[in-house]
């Protein structure tokens, strides 16, 4: 995998199949790009977009774009798990609910 970002132009894009090819600015061979390489972009790519990407080999030894983004297109926030999606968060919420239910029962039983 290349660590540095490479710049190119999206030469072709098959919207129905979710992939296309980037023509690198350095004039090398076209690079395959799948929609999954553009995680977090606020819109789908269109032919002519300037794409920044890294290169890796797929499981068949062919080169592909990874960690890509479209120039000038907003990157949405990562969908990293929030506190409530962690085990600790779930346990704390469950304990809080038990405490609330216990308090309600205690108030209803008070004379």
Could you report the per-residue pLDDT of 17-62, keeping only the tens digit for each? 999 999 999 998 999 999 999 998 889 999 999 999 999 999 999 9
Mean pLDDT for the chain overall: 88
* Structure confidence at residue 2 (pLDDT): 63
* Structure confidence at residue 66 (pLDDT): 96
* Structure confidence at residue 76 (pLDDT): 84
pLDDT value at 1 more than 80 = no
* Structure confidence at residue 57 (pLDDT): 94
* Structure confidence at residue 83 (pLDDT): 61
Task: Please name which of 77, 74, 67 lies closest in space to residue 22, comparing C-alpha atoms.
Answer: 67
Task: Please name which of 78, 70, 74 lies closest in space to residue 49, comparing C-alpha atoms.
Answer: 70
Band (pLDDT 50/70/90 cuts) for residue 93 is confident
CB 10 within 8 A of CB 47: yes
What whole-number distance in Å separates Cα of residue 18 and Cα of residue 41? 14
Write the CB contacts of 3 (distance below 8 Å, at least 6 apart in sequence): 54
């Amino acid at each position: 995998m290349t660590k540095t970002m490479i710049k190119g132009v999206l030469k072709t894009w098959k919207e129905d199949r979710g992939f296309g090819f980037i023509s690198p600015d350095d004039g090398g061979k076209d690079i395959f790009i799948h929609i999954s390489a553009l995680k977090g972009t606020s819109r789908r790519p269109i032919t002519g977009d300037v794409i920044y990407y890294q290169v890796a080999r797929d499981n068949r030894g062919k080169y592909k774009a990874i960690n890509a983004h479209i120039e000038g297109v907003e990157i949405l926030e990562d969908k990293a798990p929030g506190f409530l999606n962690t085990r600790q968060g779930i346990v704390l919420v469950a304990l809080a609910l038990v405490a609330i239910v216990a308090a309600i029962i205690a108030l209803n039983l008070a004379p």
